[in-house]
Structure 1
Amino acid sequence: MTAGRGRWITLEGGDGSGKTTQSDLLASWLSETGHEVVRTREPGGSEVGQLIRDIVLHHRGDIAPRAEALLYAADRAHHVATVVRPALERGDIVLQDRYLDSSVAYQGAGRVLDATEIRDLSLWAAEGALPDLTVLLDLDPQTARTRLDSADKPFDRLEAEKAEFHGRVRDAYLALAAAEPERFLVIDASSPVDVIAGEIRARVASFLA
């Protein structure tokens, strides 16, 4: 998708794995080395996406699992068309918190829907677009929950799910990474922040070269 133009890096992992921290550090390093960086996320990387984010993460009532999956796909279709593709065409580096792997893990495994159908739906919505590199911050759900508890803020709908849900999510992420080792960089998210940042920078530097 991005050969000869920009580059697209996504960060994945369970809630509490440190994606925001590592995204901040990577964005600063990329900017310092002269790259134009576009920070974005799913859901919520556009005005339309923010409305969808409020529904899927903060709606107080139940949302049927298939409806939830379709809402994420709708956000993805608009986000890729209006944010990601234009940035890549300009030659920017897109640094994105979550993409279709999140849907396969959370709506597929977490909600016990068909993972292949969820992936196919996302690929259709995004016209087949896949990132150049996906950084998976792997962390066991118990440690992740301890981190979330210490943050002292209300849980969103997905963060509030039971341990079994988050266990299925983690297993799905690791299966995705095993199936596409050329795209994924899997990192132990229990390591010190600076060690994780160094591993990511090393892979990204090699990737950009």
Structure 2
Amino acid sequence: MTFTDQGPTLILASSSPRRQELVRHLGLPVLVRPSDADEWTPAEWPPARIVEELAERKARTVWDSARGTLDMPAVVIGSDTIVAVDGDVLGKPKDEEDAARMLSRLAGRSHEVFTGVCCIGLQDGKTVTGHRRTVVRMRELTAEQILRYIASGEPLDKAGAYGIQGLGAVLVDSLEGCYFNVVGLPLSLLADQLESFGVLLP
């Protein structure tokens, strides 16, 4: 794959403002092409397999549509994040009641956050997929604190019903692993994957 001095364009298969902000830190041109990929997975799949499969599915959907309409050196990036506790996967809450249930379950204990990342070369279809895992410990929360946080509206579009980069930061006591993984895009993993395409970042 041959890139210009500016580097390849990164095509982000996500509508997430958080992922868009993070990928722009890399200093390369960015196009945003949200994916409408099916996100169903079998209940028995472990978290790592879920996020890698969904990340690749999202990237592949956008790659399929972009390769016929764009003629440029580019890499499509798909990503998916889930929260896991006691072997159960917590996605985005369905409503405020579901958010309260999730937060009550996470309060005062540790859980795992998994994010899958998939990169696909636009011109040659080369595919690299991986994931990161971070352990997050949430502080003890009263029912009133949980309701106040839900009233902010922040939990409703976040896996596990909280956003560590926003108001949800006050809920987190500690973490072990990559912070950006919890936000939704582990930049160190993405940098490693881009290097396999010949993209050398500082």
Question: Hey, which of these two has a bigger chunk of helix by percent?
Answer: 1
After TM superposition, the score normalised by the length of structure 2 is 0.34
**Max Rg structure:** 2
After TM superposition, the score normalised by the length of structure 1 is 0.33
> Which structure is richer in relative contact order (CA contacts within 8 A, separation 6 or more)?
1
